[in-house]
A and B are shown apart, each in its own frame.
Chain A
Amino acid sequence: MKILVPVKRVIDYNVKPRVKADGTGVDLANVKMSMNPFDEIAVEEAIRLKEKGVATEVVAVSIGVAKAQETLRTALAMGADRAILIQTDDEVEPLGVAKLLAKVQEEEGAGLIILGKQAIDDDSNQTGQMLAALLNLPQGTFASKVEVEGDKVSVTREVDGGLETVKLNVPAIVTTDLRLNEPRYASLPNIMKAKSKPLATKAPADYGVDIGARLETLKVVEPAKRSAGVKVADVDELVAKLKALGVAA
């Protein structure tokens, strides 16, 4: 079975995003960029399935600027076999990404497509579900456990009240939640080896789908700030405050 893993280049998890003064977006100039953390979990899961002998090949794909090559090289260094970059300087919305990925899947015929549940930049949480819809495939979103059993895949999902398990026909779409696994760090020899793994570069036009933006961002602002309040000296003072709030009797 082949596994397709879409990955996105985003602002690094540890960097605090700054809103641009002109309100047009978040300042990404000279900011450290990394692979979206949920996508790292997706890559890790695919590699583990290959190590278990379930998957035969792991293909990473990214849609983005030329520098998204670095993100794909990270996936290759972790253990993916080859990569595809659909290069564009335009911001592509989840719907457009799903359309491009659907075309990639038509060519690749993967048994599983594993994606992060959301990207930590736009926080949309849509691409996996949209891709499943376009391909008419089942979806196991917010996965904390993935088990392939013949032509079915059993996915344990993190839902509001706890956990839920669904069984899906293969091919299937899986989106990852935080506790699915802990992604490995690529070793130096593997980083070197990744440089010679195949990376194909394509353009959105190669796939002939409409990826035009449907949403227009009118402005981006900082959220309302909370200001620090008062410190109380001891528990008695805190109890008095709680009473004033009507929380304590």
Chain B
Amino acid sequence: MEKEELAPHVSEISRVLGSKVSEDQIEKELDTYLNLYRVSLETAKRSVVRKLGGDPNALNKGVQKKLSELSGSEQSVDLLVKVLSANRKEIEQNGEIRTLIYGLFADESGTMPYTAWDADRFPLERGQVLMVRNAYTKEWNGKPQLNLGTRATIESQSADAVKLPEGMDVPAYGPTTAKVAELLEGMNSVTLTAKILSVETRKIESQEGAKTLFSGMIADDTGRVQFSAWHDFNLKKDEVVQIRGAYVRSWRGIPQLNFGERAEVSRVKSPFPADLDLSKPKPRSIAELDAVGGAFDVLVAGIVVDVKKGSGLIQRCPQCNRLVQNKLCRLHGKVEGQYDLRIKAVVDDGAGSMTAVLNKDITEALVGINLEQAIKEARDAMDPEIIKERIEERLLAKPLEVRGNVISDDYGLMMIVSEARMFVPEVRADAANLLAELEGAQ
């Protein structure tokens, strides 16, 4: 082990010994155990502490966890992570200016925000792979957050020590220029050119006191996305801006654009065709949505390959709106359920599939039956399932175009549908074009 790598362990032993022994001496002892006798690091540290008159139990246990395993109450935890982002920030503490670094760590299991409370001791940079020891976690907004305080140490690791899932990794070549449809959770230093469709201000309470948040909707020719600006860039509706240094976080799979005071915003000439209505939803393939995890207000076309259980005439709890099954609400027990209509359809475009949830109004329009008729039909037949059968009759194996927000959960993509229509595809013109293309290429 090289001298540099020893340093964090030397300082840890020094802390346990309470500066009774010089760091040089500790380093010499540790070096002997490790490099001459080749014992394990853990044993070496304990032995050195014992030899120099300290309590080896005061050494950190070194529990190593994955980011997804953190609960928010760890006092001391070790982690092998990659730095996805590192932002510097100056804070005033006891009349002194201190620099801290905050950002996002990632490992195979996920990502987590961190704060390193000393920029000099933790010179974190985007893309580094680190062994972080003795970090602690706290809950913030109901989610664990990682902190590197006075006891923490970092050790540089080889770049391939952390293998991140596809799409999560930091872009290898600095800032990324992206279109709205390409925004992906965890992206940093994003440059995006888009038109501001709406902007509103909101006062929020943060750790540093009251702040004004500027949020709204922006769009380019690939889609629309919600944004939050944590600094006043004097954004105006209908302006076309280029934002540099934005980052992406997602909410239930829907990517959202964030940018703070370190970002740059400049007004640019619109690169979008004048007749293009950016406020309209854009068509997306399910595979694309799968890759980014979700999207705000998009159009998806596919075939209805299944109408799931729980479609048709259902009953909901009058108090919490949950599904009532066998006259029982999961939360409120026996209740008098209220009838509702809905469809949970699996829409499949050949490269991906998602569940589309259609509410009563959309179901009524699409199937051509209203709630009252449905209740009557089910009563007459003494079987509420006939409504589901009727929906299947109408939708199954048919092309359907749906519009809405796409979110993701453990079971994959789900769209909360705001509009739906069955369409008759134009086949011949499309086929002729494709044929001409193929024969032209031959």
Real complex partners, A and B? no
- Interface residues in chain A, defined as those with a beta carbon under 8 Å from any beta carbon in chain B: none
- Interface residues in chain B, defined as those with a beta carbon under 8 Å from any beta carbon in chain A: none
